[in-house]
Every structure is written in structure tokens, then in C-alpha cells.
Amino acid sequence: KAGVTQTPRYLIKTRGQQVTLSCSPISGHRSVSWYQQTPGQGLQFLFEYFSETQRNKGNFPGRFSGRQFSNSRSEMNVSTLELGDSALYLCASSVGQGTGELFFGEGSRLTVL
């Protein structure tokens, strides 16, 4: 069974630009969560989608948004990039019913110059 796939793996943007990251979950998983990982801050929750609906949202500004498609694939978008948005963005999928194991992708490393 294929794991969680994230694209692109690496990208460099400049301040003010916008970026879209993609995540394909494990087949059969209906929940996709996004986390921002920075040194010293651990894994900070961005949002979670289940069956195309945002189920939870973390404490991030409105520049961060996401969506989920009918095939469970998810995208997140960051507009008006700031230097502080440089981070590893991790996507994780799960079956989606209640609590359970999250399966992480390898992440998309964003550098904002």
C-alpha cells in the first residue's frame, strides 16, 4: 500500500508570493491533517479535513487555507508569504473515525527569501 505522498518536496519562494502544497493520503483514509514543523516549536496543527469538510483549525492566520477533494487528496495554500513561514509542512492521513494513528508524509520544505 502506498504511503502518504507530498509534493513538492522542496520549494523556494520570495516574500509576498503564494504557495500551494499537495498531499495524497493512503488509499482508504478519509482524514488529512496538516502540521507546520519548525526548530524548537515542534509540530503545530494547521487544520484537518474529513470527507471534504474542515473539521478542525489551528491557531494560524487566515493566510493559511486548505481544502480536500472528493478523492481525499488535500491541498494547503499560503498567501502573502512571510519569512516566518519557512518551515517543513507535514501532511498526515488517518482512517478518520475518532482517534487513531496518523501516517505522515515526508513533508514539503518551504523556504521564503
Q: Of 16 and 28, which has the nearer Cβ to other proteins? A: 28
| C-alpha of 107 from chain center | 8
Asked if 74 is part of the footprint of other proteins (rule: CB under 8 A), the reply reads no
What whole-number distance in Å separates Cα of residue 72 and Cα of residue 96? 11
Interaction between residue 102 and other proteins (CB under 8 A): yes
Instruction: Specify the DSSP class assigned to residue 80.
Output: S
Minimum distance of other proteins from residue 75's CB (angstroms): 19
**Segment lying near other proteins (by CB under 8 A), choices 8-16, 27-35, 62-70, 74-82:** 27-35
Specify whether the CB–CB gap between 75 and 21 falls below 8 A.
yes
Q: Is 58:49 a contact under the CB 8 Å cutoff?
A: no
Chain contacts with other proteins (rule: CB under 8 A): 31, 33, 35, 40-45, 48, 50, 55-56, 59, 90, 94, 96, 98-102, 104-107
